[in-house]
Amino acid sequence: MAQTPEKPPRAWRWDSDDGVAALQDVATALVALHDVENPGTFQLPYPAEAQRALDRLALTCLWLRCPLPESVPGLIEWGATRILDDWPLHLPEGTAHPDGRLLDEDTRLPTQLCLEWAADAERHPANRFDRQVLAFAADRCRAEDDQETYLAFRRQLAKEPVTTKNKLSTMLGRTDMDADLVRDVLNEVYRPAPPGSVEKGRAVLCGRCGILLVRTRRSEWRCEREECRRRGVREGKELDARDGGLRQLTRPVRQWITAPGRVALKLEQRLRAWCEVELWPDFGAFDLRLVLPGGVVWAVDVHDWVDPGLLGRLREQPRPDLAAHRRLWVVPRESVTAVSGYRTRYREVRPIGPELLSDAELVSEVKAFVENGPRGREAPDDRPQ
């Protein structure tokens, strides 16, 4: 019996939903306030991001005749205690995390969902700090034709989100890295760690992702990453904060460069047994370039987004893409399994674009290709695109 043709995914009318801009403003404000010590003590006038978010949210609440936050502390309280479904906002049908919060209830730190909504507000990739960091390093290294330094730079950001000032100075003397090319950007992205993360000169790293653990209001250790919290706290290495002081990558770099970078490094190790793997080729044109038997090339970008709809809206900066037979976006398996219909939601928002696989699915597909040969559309005589 012939199968019924799959219906094309419907296009979401995302930008027509009036709650999107309001939620983008709130998320942007909460991320900005995270960098300010004791935001609850602000006096009028509030920072521009917070005032804009309050104004837009207040209008919505007045229109709906419902209570509204009247101050920055009130906005912070809403972010920590209200799930998205309880905000008076009209969001696109099928929003993936109606039970998600913008701030962690115990630490008041921005959640990954909050970061994603704030990033969505920066519709041009060049406006995002993490994109600027990568572009700066790539331009510097490309000018000197020094791919080795670029690789060492990317590995450093992926493997060591926390270090000490003294160790950072030592690292810049490594033989695989031209310090003159990346010293200023490394000094910019590694910032002093917040005082609250250090106790009696001691700081504890998450045993899974290597990020600083923080204390909750109940004096429990907590990682900022939802994935680590779902799997339970695991205390990792301790650092002596007296070694020149702790340095931690900024939150945008930790989220958008470190997290996917760690996945890329793990994939590199797993896939080398099956194919040729090139990390961050051509100064980051892709995250991974896989050369399979017969000269078939897959170009892979790794992303770490909990909301598939926001991932589908992601705009990429123009770049000199390497020729490839297949273009893939890869996300951690934990993100895919945490949201029902993750792949469907992504494709509803992005009907045309890269295929979406989990990291585990990518490994399985590479193995199947090597063992069973190419599918028709990936035959070696296909012209790379």
pLDDT in tens, 234-281: 888 888 877 678 899 999 999 999 999 999 999 999 999 999 999 999
**Which residues of the chain are under the pLDDT cut of 50?**
1-12, 37-42, 376-377, 379-385
Give the pLDDT of residue 220.
Answer: 81
Q: Report which of 318, 307, 252, 309 is spatially closest to residue 284, judged by C-alpha positions.
A: 318
Looking at residue 44, its pLDDT comes to 52
Question: What is the pTM (predicted TM-score) of this model?
Answer: 0.86
Region of 205 on the Ramachandran plot (φ > 0 left; ψ -120 to 50 alpha; else beta): beta
Task: Locate 158 and state its tokens.
Answer: 């992926």
3-state DSSP percent of the chain in helix, strand and coil, to 5: 50, 15, 40
- What is the b/e burial string over 293-332, where b = at least 16 CB atoms within 10 angstroms of the residue's CB? eeebbbbbbbbbbbbbbbbbbbeeeeeeeeebbbbbbbbb
CATH dotted code for 253-378:
3.40.1350
Per-residue pLDDT, 290? 97
pLDDT of residue 1: 37
Distance CA 42, CA 117 (A): 24
CB atoms within 10 A of CB 359: 21
> How would you classify the pairing of strands 296-302 and 190-192?
unpaired
What mean pLDDT value characterizes the chain?
83
pLDDT for the residue numbered 25: 86
Name the one residue in this structure whose structure tokens are 């997290």.
259
In terms of DSSP bridges, do strands 296-302 and 326-331 run parallel, antiparallel, or are they unpaired? parallel
What pLDDT was estimated at residue 98? 76
Which is it for strands 202-206 and 214-215: parallel, antiparallel or unpaired?
unpaired
Q: Please answer whether residues 364 and 357 qualify as being in contact, where contact means their C-beta atoms are separated by less than 8 angstroms.
A: no
Please check whether residue 356 is in contact with residue 331, taking contact to mean a CB–CB distance below 8 angstroms: yes
Measured torsion, CA atoms of residues 324, 327, 329, 332, in degrees rounded to the nearest 10 = -70
pLDDT digits (tens, 9 = 90+) for 210-230: 999 988 777 788 888 888 888
Q: What is the largest CA-CA distance in the chain?
A: 71
pLDDT computed for residue 383 by the predictor:
43
Every domain of the chain with CATH number 3.40.1350 lies at 253-378
Helix, coil or strand: residue 126: helix
